[in-house]
Amino acid sequence: MLLSGRIPAHVAIIMDGNGRWAEMRGLPRIEGHKRGAERTREVITAATEVGVNTLTLYAFSLENWKRPDEEVSMLMKLLEFYLKKEFSELIKRGIVFRTIGEIWRLPENIQALLKDAEEKSLRNKGMNLVLALSYGGRNEIIRAVKKAMNLGVKPGDVTEAYFDSLLDTSGLSAPDLIIRTSGEKRISNFLLWQAAYAELHFTDTLWPDFTREEFFLALHDYQMRERRFGTVNARAER
Ligand code: IPE
Ligand code: IPE
Ligand code: MG
């Protein structure tokens, strides 16, 4: 598919439907997560190819900690596997890696791998790859409020730009396009503040079936949108 025209600077994805993909095939849910991880790799590559500046992937929500212990621990193992297997290659390709969310809740070995990847990619100049892990939008906002209070910030100094700088996503632009797979049409506590003017793309495709072509379809859908930002007839170029 020809992808001329504006490419969203920041694409964020709620990668949903792994469990149902597996259940439909009579497989354990973890098989869906494994297949989903392959699509994640494919979409990261596709995003770098078309010049997306920032790709944020919702990989594990704060609420996901409430899943059965067995599923949580298998998800952590899968994450560990991919961090070890894939990340040095991504870093070599120039990706700047960071995380958002309550990382301190993750197993220590995973925290160490994440920190290592962030540090090694610090001087890179390529696409920002942001993993939302142990992430909740409300929680992020509350933590930002606490930071401001601890800093003794005066009410008059709390501007939107300042508040932005206290969030985990500090320094990143707001998402232009949020994609959710699996047919659910909700935001599930993802980037609540940042999503204010994001375009939303919902698809019934389950994440393990979300190929690069599907990703390009979502970008194409975005390219058809007119973003008005509350004004009249503003043909915003981004
Ligand atoms: C998304 O797939 C991955 C995570 C939330 C970790 P799900 O595991 O939510 O899959 P469904 O929604 O049950 O199909
Ligand atoms: C959202 O999916 C979180 C991730 C994709 C990581 P969920 O499957 O957890 O969301 P709900 O429970 O359907 O809202
Ligand atoms: Mg789900």
Tokens at 63, concatenated: 């609420």
Look at residue 196 and tell me if it is in a domain: yes
The CATH number given to whatever domain includes residue 150 is 3.40.1180.10
Ligand 2 touching residue 186 (CB < 6 A): yes
Per-residue pLDDT tens for 148-181? 999 999 999 999 999 999 999 999 999 999 999 9
Ligand 3: distance of its center to the CA of 106 in Å? 20
pTM: 0.96
**Within a domain: 177:** yes
> Measuring from atom 2 of ligand 2, which residue has the nearest CA?
16
Catalytic residue among 53, 64, 164, 209: 64
Tell me the C-alpha to C-alpha distance, in Å, between residue 178 and each of 13, 53, 151.
6, 14, 32
In a domain, 77, yes or no: yes
CA 169/CA 94 separation, integer angstroms: 20
- For residue 139, being part of any structural domain is answered with yes
Which atom in ligand 1 lies closest to the alpha carbon of residue 64?
Answer: 5
Number of domains in the chain: 1
- Domain of residue 125, residue span: 4-223
- Residue 16 Cα to ligand 3 midpoint, Å, equals 5
Q: Is residue 235 part of a domain?
A: no
- 64 part of the active site: yes
Mean pLDDT value across residues 192-208: 98
With respect to residue 76, please indicate whether it lies within any of the assigned structural domains.
Answer: yes
Residue 103 lies in a domain: yes
Q: 16 catalytic, yes or no?
A: yes
Q: Please give the Cα distance from 54 to 175 (Å, whole number).
A: 8
Query: Does 24 reside within a domain?
Result: yes
Query: Residue 5: which pLDDT band, with cuts at 50, 70 and 90?
Result: confident
